[in-house]
């Protein structure tokens, strides 16, 4: 059994999310966490998580929802947390900055708001970090020993950074990038990190694994990603899958089994 801890079932790229969920289940991916990135997605996410085995998070992506004040965003997220909302995010830093993006200072403010909400609600934090290792670490470090828990999703940094994140008690989540040529940067971390901090995700419909990059990614590809990681780690697929499944439930502890 598998959990896809990070995907976007409300994506316009999917005609019918119910079929995507069904196909995932045929491949043993029986639990899915559909991730929030903006206020306008909240009603869509709340509808999708009515499906069996599907859970959600609420969050503000670093470059979105710039028309709201941070205070209003906190209120909106907070009011919409219900029993199948199992985390806060995705949130963090996104660089390089494009025109009309939030600047770094504003990204940090919205990130810190979501960290504080995660602590208040005792929910895990889903961190987005694109080209921002230094900024991400600095912010997360300032909440050391404040009961913050969470994960770096789509982990693509080197082992030096991984060690610092692991030292904060955070989990690292890996996706189809491990199957790319550029995924070689992840091998050292996958080989050396403690297995009880590893998570799997697809980030579907994005980041289809190698060999299917022209298609939409789907949660049914989790076993394929898991197999690649098992090979890199030099461990049996079954042993790894069991471990990662229980890690996912340990972090996202509102998910019922
Ligand atoms: Zn995502």
pLDDT digits (tens, 9 = 90+) for 131-179: 999 999 999 999 999 999 999 999 999 999 999 999 999 999 999 999 9
Does any domain span residue 110?
Answer: yes
Q: How far apart are the CA of 7 and the centre of ligand 1, in A?
A: 6
Cβ neighbourhood burial of 21 (10 Å; 0-12, 13-18, 19+): buried
Rounded to the nearest angstrom, the distance between the alpha carbon of 69 and the centre of ligand 1 is 23
User: pLDDT digit string (tens) for 31-63?
Assistant: 999 999 999 999 999 999 999 999 999 999 999
Q: How far is the centre of ligand 1, averaged over its atoms, from the C-alpha of 177 (Å)?
A: 13
Residue 10 pLDDT more than 90?
yes
Between the CA of 57 and the centroid of ligand 1 the distance, in Å, is 11
Give residue 121's pLDDT band: very low, low, confident or very high (50, 70, 90): very high
Least confident of 2-6, 188-192, 213-217: 213-217
What is the predicted pLDDT for the residue at 53?
Answer: 97
> What's the confidence (pLDDT) of residue 165?
98
Residue 256 lies in a domain: no
- Asked if 68 and 102 touch (Cβ cutoff 8 Å), the reply is no
Which of 99 and 110 is assigned the larger pLDDT?
Answer: 110
Task: Give the residue among 12, 9, 50 at the shortest CA–CA distance from 33.
Answer: 9
Place of tokens 């085995």: 53
E strands in 131-249: 150-152, 171-174, 198-200
Assess whether pLDDT exceeds 90 at residue 194.
Answer: yes
Q: How many CA atoms lie within 13 A of 21 on its CB side?
A: 18
Percent of the chain having pLDDT more than 70?
A: 100
> Average pLDDT of 120-141?
98
Q: What would the mean pLDDT of 214-236 be, rounded to a whole number?
A: 96
Whole-model pTM: value is 0.96
Mean pLDDT (the chain, rounded): 96
CB atoms within 10 A of CB 98: 8
Mean pLDDT of 79-97: 97
Can you give the pLDDT at residue 197?
A: 98
Q: Give the number of domains in the chain.
A: 1
Could you tell me the distance, in angstroms and rounded to a whole number, from the CA of residue 6 to the centre of ligand 1? 6
Contacts of 83 (CB under 8 A, 6+ apart): 254
Could you tell me the residue range of the domain that residue 98 belongs to? 2-251
Kindly list the distances between the CA atom of residue 33 and the CA atoms of 88, 130, 166, 236, 257, in Å, as whole numbers in the listed order: 11, 21, 22, 25, 14
| Predicted local confidence at residue 99, as pLDDT | 87
C-alpha 205 to ligand 1 mean position (Å) = 9
Q: Are 54 and 9 in contact (CB under 8 A)?
A: yes
Chain-centre distance for alpha carbon 145:
22
Question: Is 257 domain-assigned?
Answer: no
Q: What is the pLDDT of residue 101?
A: 86
Contacts of 173 (CB under 8 A, 6+ apart): 5, 6, 151, 152, 153, 154, 155, 198, 199, 200, 201
Assess whether pLDDT exceeds 90 at residue 24: yes
Both structure tokens of 132: 């921002």
Over residues 70-88, mean pLDDT: 98
The set of residues, in sequence order, having a beta carbon less than 8 Å from that of 132 and lying 6+ positions away, is 92, 93, 94, 95
CA of 146 to the centre of ligand 1 (A): 25
Q: Are 41 and 238 in contact (CB under 8 A)?
A: no
CATH number reported for the structural domain that contains residue 202 in this entry: 3.20.20.140
Question: 71 CA to middle of ligand 1, Å?
Answer: 23
Q: Residue 192 falls within a domain, yes or no?
A: yes
């Amino acid at each position: 059994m598998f959990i896809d801890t990070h995907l976007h079932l409300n994506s316009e790229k999917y005609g019918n999310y119910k079929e995507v969920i069904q196909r995932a289940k045929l491949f043993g991916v029986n639990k899915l966490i559909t991730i929030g990135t903006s206020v306008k997605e909240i009603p869509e996410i709340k509808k999708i998580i009515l499906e069996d085995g599907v859970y959600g998070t609420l969050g503000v992506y670093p470059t979105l929802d710039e028309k709201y004040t941070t205070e209003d965003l906190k209120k909106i997220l907070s009011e919409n947390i219900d029993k199948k909302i199992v985390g806060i995010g995705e949130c963090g830093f996104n660089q390089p900055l494009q025109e009309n993006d939030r600047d770094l200072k504003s990204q940090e403010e919205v990130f810190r708001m979501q960290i504080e909400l995660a602590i208040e609600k005792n929910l895990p934090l889903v961190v987005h970090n694109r080209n921002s290792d230094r900024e991400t670490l600095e912010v997360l470090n300032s909440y050391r020993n404040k009961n913050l828990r969470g994960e770096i999703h789509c982990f693509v940094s080197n082992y030096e950074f991984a060690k610092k994140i692991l030292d904060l008690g955070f989990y690292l989540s890996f996706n189809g990038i491990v199957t790319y040529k550029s995924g070689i940067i992840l091998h050292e971390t996958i080989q050396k990190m403690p297995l009880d901090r590893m998570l799997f995700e697809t980030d579907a419909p994005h980041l289809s694994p190698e060999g299917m990059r022209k298609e939409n990614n789907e949660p049914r590809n989790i076993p394929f990603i898991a197999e690649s990681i098992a090979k890199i780690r030099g461990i049996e697929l079954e042993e790894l899958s069991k471990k990662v499944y229980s890690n996912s439930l340990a972090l996202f502890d509102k998910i019922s089994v």
